[in-house]
């Protein structure tokens, strides 16, 4: 699939922008702070309803504006002319509105699945060096792209977790529970186990399918004898004892023992829910004493290893970079294998890679249906990724053609301008 047209109103630094894209590689270059990332972030937002740069949505709305609008037209494939128009209105302090083919959707998240994107950016170093929450978000975003229904499961899980944890906090330190609290806790336990089981099952299925793509991608970028592997570490379910890469990095001794005993890969969502229920019962006393929910996918992690060693804390800077890239390429490979070509966005990554890895990455993505690249320095992008090149400067996007002459400017009202026209931008 590929984006053929992007329209923005009051998104980030862009009061207004209209851009036409074609399949293949498109490179946006320009000095720092000119709004290159803002443009590709808009595409990312339509695909994931999130951004690799911020957790909240306020920064996505142009400073001083009440709302931002992002709209894109997407074609299903090079040999599939079906097209979709996706639109989201990001509203400050209110629920966002979304539409598909101009028809309003009940909830913005119903848009998920319509446009598939994979973004790789310098922020991804966090996947290797950062907290478990960064890796959970990575796998959950992938799960949601594969099965949009899981977006609802995720949202419900987060809500139940918040409510259950609030109840636990209010009970902190109690030795016995009254009937009403006991009954309420049981309701939350049941919901948490059911939703948690679904989420973990989807994560594991995704991880299992993605793992070979990650290993292959790492090998292609940084040939080495140390295989890059990804395993799932669960503080509540136990780990697959056959997974050679399983390394319990945290947790109590009791956790480690039960982790070693309970294999869970291949279990159904119901079976996983059953394990979660049992673990919650085991740890209820501790949960009440501490006032926190200790069991569930919100405490799990992905363990990334290079050979025998965990990547976190051991891998060099360059190895960590290659691993982060391999994770994104793994996600890309998996989505492709699912049968839909995602749009690949490489935001500012070539500056971070040496020549050898640049060339290897370029070779790996040469046949991608659409790649959107941003770079401050045009020469950082390998020439093999010729594609169409644009310069983003002073709130305008102009064609950087071989003659070096910018394409003529144009108005901003035409809904489908040619890609080489001058675009309106921040004023």
Ligand X SMILES: Nc1ncnc2c1ncn2[C@@H]1O[C@H](COP(=O)(O)OP(=O)(O)OP(=O)(O)O)[C@@H](O)[C@H]1O
Residues near Mg ion (CB under 5 A) are 37, 348
- Helix H segments across 172-268? 179-221, 253-261
Laid out side by side, the sheet with 67-77 consists of 14-20, 2-11, 67-77, 80-91, 97-100, 103-104
Q: What is the DSSP secondary-structure string of 27-53?
A: EEE-STTSSHHHHHHHHHHHHHSS-SS
Report the largest interatomic distance among the alpha carbons of the chain, rounded to a whole angstrom: 80
26 binds ligand X (CB under 6 A): no
Which structure tokens are listed for 312?
A: 């976190």
Q: Which stretch binds ligand X (CB under 6 A): 31-39, 140-148, 179-187, 253-261?
A: 31-39
Q: Is 205 exposed, middle or buried, given 0-12, 13-18 or 19+ CB atoms closer than 10 A?
A: middle
48 binds ligand X (CB under 6 A): no
Phi, psi of 205 (to 5 degrees): -65, -40
* Local structure of residue 282 (DSSP, 8 states): H
> Residue 57 CB, nearest distance to ligand X (Å)?
10
Which structure tokens are listed for 169?
A: 């906090």
Query: Is 138 in contact with 128 (CB distance < 8 Å)?
Result: no
Name which of 343, 320, 337, 355 is nearest 218 in CA terms. Answer: 320
62 binds ligand X (CB under 6 A): yes
Question: Nearer Cβ to ligand X, position 123 or 216?
Answer: 123
Q: Which stretch binds ligand X (CB under 6 A): 35-43, 141-149, 216-224, 395-403?
A: 35-43
Q: Which stretch binds ligand X (CB under 6 A): 18-26, 28-36, 140-148, 401-409?
A: 28-36
32 binds ligand X (CB under 6 A): yes
Instruction: Single out the residue of 7, 16, 30, 362 in contact with ligand X (rule: CB under 6 A).
Output: 30
Query: Is 295 in contact with 161 (CB distance < 8 Å)?
Result: no
Instruction: Single out the residue of 5, 36, 299, 312 in contact with ligand X (rule: CB under 6 A).
Output: 36
Instruction: Single out the residue of 1, 2, 8, 13 in contact with ligand X (rule: CB under 6 A).
Output: 13
Q: Which stretch binds ligand X (CB under 6 A): 30-38, 130-138, 353-361, 396-404?
A: 30-38
Which structure tokens are listed for 335?
A: 């989505």
Interacting positions 324-383 with ligand X (CB under 6 A)? 348, 374, 376
Question: Nearer Cβ to ligand X, position 41 or 198?
Answer: 41
206 binds ligand X (CB under 6 A): no
- Which H or E element spans position 73? strand 67-77
Quote the CA–CA distance of 221 and 213 in Å, as a whole number.
12
Q: Which does 357 bind (CB under 5 to 8 A by kind): ligand X, Mg ion, none?
A: none
Tell me, rounded to whole angstroms, the distance of Cα 285 from its chain centroid. Answer: 36
Q: Which does 229 bind (CB under 5 to 8 A by kind): ligand X, Mg ion, none?
A: none
> Residue 342 CB, nearest distance to ligand X (Å)?
21
Question: Nearer Cβ to ligand X, position 255 or 348?
Answer: 348
Question: Nearer Cβ to Mg ion, position 89 or 400?
Answer: 400
> Residue 377 CB, nearest distance to Mg ion (Å)?
12
Coil, strand or helix: which one is 283? helix
Question: Nearer Cβ to ligand X, position 136 or 399?
Answer: 399
Q: Which does 258 bind (CB under 5 to 8 A by kind): Mg ion, ligand X, none?
A: none
Question: Nearer Cβ to ligand X, position 54 or 366?
Answer: 54
104 binds ligand X (CB under 6 A): no
59 binds ligand X (CB under 6 A): yes
Query: Is 148 in contact with 112 (CB distance < 8 Å)?
Result: yes
Quote the CA–CA distance of 348 and 122 in Å, as a whole number.
7
Give the residues lining the site for ligand X (CB under 6 A): 12-13, 30, 32-38, 59, 61-63, 348, 374, 376
């Amino acid at each position: 699939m590929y984006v053929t047209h992007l329209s923005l109103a009051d998104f980030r630094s862009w009061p207004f922008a209209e851009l036409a894209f074609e399949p293949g590689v498109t490179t946006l270059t320009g000095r720092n702070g000119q709004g290159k990332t803002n443009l590709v972030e808009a595409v990312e937002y339509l695909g994931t309803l999130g951004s690799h740069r911020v957790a909240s949505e306020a920064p996505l709305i142009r400073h001083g504006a009440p709302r931002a609008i992002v709209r894109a037209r997407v074609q299903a494939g090079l040999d599939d002319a079906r097209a979709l128009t996706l639109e989201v209105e990001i509203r400050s302090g209110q629920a966002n509105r979304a539409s598909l083919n101009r028809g309003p959707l009940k909830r913005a998240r119903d848009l998920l699945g319509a446009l598939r994107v994979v973004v790789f950016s310098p922020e991804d170093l966090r996947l290797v060096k950062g907290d478990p929450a960064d890796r959970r978000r990575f796998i959950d975003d992938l799960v949601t792209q594969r099965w949009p229904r899981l977006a609802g499961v995720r949202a419900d899980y987060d809500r139940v977790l918040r409510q259950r944890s609030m109840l636990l906090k209010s009970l902190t330190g109690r030795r016995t529970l009254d009937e009403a609290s006991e009954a309420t806790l049981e309701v939350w336990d049941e919901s948490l186990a059911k939703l948690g089981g679904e989420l973990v099952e989807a994560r594991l299925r995704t991880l299992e399918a993605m793992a070979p793509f990650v290993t292959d991608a790492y090998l292609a970028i940084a040939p080495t004898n140390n295989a890059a592997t990804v395993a799932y570490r669960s503080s509540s379910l136990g780990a697959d004892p056959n997974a050679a890469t399983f390394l319990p990095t945290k947790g109590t001794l009791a956790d480690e023992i039960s982790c070693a005993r309970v294999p869970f890969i291949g279990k159904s969502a119901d079976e996983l829910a059953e394990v979660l229920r049992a673990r919650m019962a085991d740890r209820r006393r501790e949960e009440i004493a501490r006032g926190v929910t200790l069991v569930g996918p919100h405490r799990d992690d992905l363990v990334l290893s290079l050979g025998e060693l965990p990547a976190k804390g051991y891998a060099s800077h360059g190895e960590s970079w290659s691993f982060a890239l391999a994770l994104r390429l793994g996600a890309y490979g998996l989505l492709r294998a699912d049968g839909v070509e995602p749009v690949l966005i490489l935001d500012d990554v070539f500056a971070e890679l040496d020549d050898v890895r640049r060339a290897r990455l370029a070779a790996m993505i040469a046949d991608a249906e659409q790649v959107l690249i941003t770079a401050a320095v045009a020469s950082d992008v390998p020439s093999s990724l010729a594609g169409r090149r644009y310069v983003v400067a002073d709130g305008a996007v102009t064609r950087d053609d071989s003659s070096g002459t910018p394409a003529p400017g144009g108005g901003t009202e035409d809904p489908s301008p040619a890609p080489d026209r001058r675009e309106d931008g921040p004023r």
